[in-house]
Amino acid sequence: MACLSRCAVASLLLASANLGLAKSILFTGGTIIAYNTESESLNVIRGGSVLVTDDKIAAVGPSASPKDVPKDCTTVDITGNIITPGFIDTHRHGWQTGLKTMASNTTLVEYFMRYSEFDSGPNYTADDVYYGQLAGLYEALNAGVTTTLDHAHHTWSNETAEAGLQASIDSGARVFWSYAFHNVPNVDLTIEDQIPHYKHLAETKPFEGSATELGIAYDGWGLNPDEQTNQVVDLIK
């Protein structure tokens, strides 16, 4: 997917609202930061075009008016703006957005004791998780992140887990929401409880039809897997 400036995004949203979601969108007239596979370097195209079909980049060209554009294509003029391939965030904890910048001068040990799911997590309500996740994904979209892998360790209760998943769905962002299997102190939900809840989400598919997909996160790997690790592996399989 492509990333572009706020003005072009606003134009696209208006076009989508007025015309419905088109299968093809042509961004024309902007500066395109592409990649040259032969020279393995950036390729800056000024006054070019990007054709997006079925949510994927179908073509990048030097002309603002390329040939062979689909008839049902929606055109968005991005003259004066820059368009680039979208960034991919491969590790995020969206629910912690409200804690950002608070732990910048702490050690990892202090982080775990003050800000992680093991300490501050159980003090968060489902609403806290929802709005933290939603704000974090909006922040990411605004920065040009078009795909996020969320290590969702807000799974210390069914309610907080579902709140983070729902926020991901509601954001409209492309999110791989990966349910974290772990035991959090001072809460009753264990991995044994989380597994049937995960299966319930996989079966009911509240994310169906959205840009959010279900995944699994787990940190308990080791040379000698215990029973819980084997349960997670079986679930993945």
- The one-character DSSP state at 71 is T
Residue 71 clears pLDDT 70, i.e. is over it = yes
Task: Write down the CATH superfamily of domain 2-85.
Answer: Urease, subunit C, domain 1 (2.30.40.10)
What is the DSSP secondary-structure string of 90-137? EEE-GGGGGGTTTTTTS-HHHHHHHTSTTTTGGG--HHHHHHHHHHHH
Task: Write down the CATH superfamily of domain 88-236.
Answer: Metal-dependent hydrolases (3.20.20.140)
Quote the pLDDT of residue 93.
95
pLDDT (tens digit, 9 = 90+) per residue, 113-168?
Answer: 888 888 887 889 999 999 999 999 999 998 889 899 999 999 999 999 999 999 99
Q: CA torsion angle for 155, 156, 158, 164 (degrees, to 10)?
A: -40
pTM value is 0.74
Q: Is 202 helix (H, G, I), strand (E, B) or coil?
A: helix
Task: Tell me the pairing of strands 145-152 and 174-180.
Answer: parallel
Residue 16 clears pLDDT 60, i.e. is over it = no
Domain segments of the chain: what residues? 2-85, 88-236
Please tell me which of 48-62, 102-116, 197-211 the model is most confident about, judged by mean pLDDT.
197-211
Quote the pLDDT of residue 171.
96
The percentage of the chain sitting over the pLDDT mark of 70, rounded to a whole number, equals 91
Rounded Cα distance, 43 and 37, in Å: 9
Which of the four pLDDT bands, split at 50, 70 and 90, describes residue 22?
low
Rounded Cα distance, 182 and 180, in Å: 6
Quote the pLDDT of residue 61.
86
Residues 6+ apart with CB under 8 A from 105: none
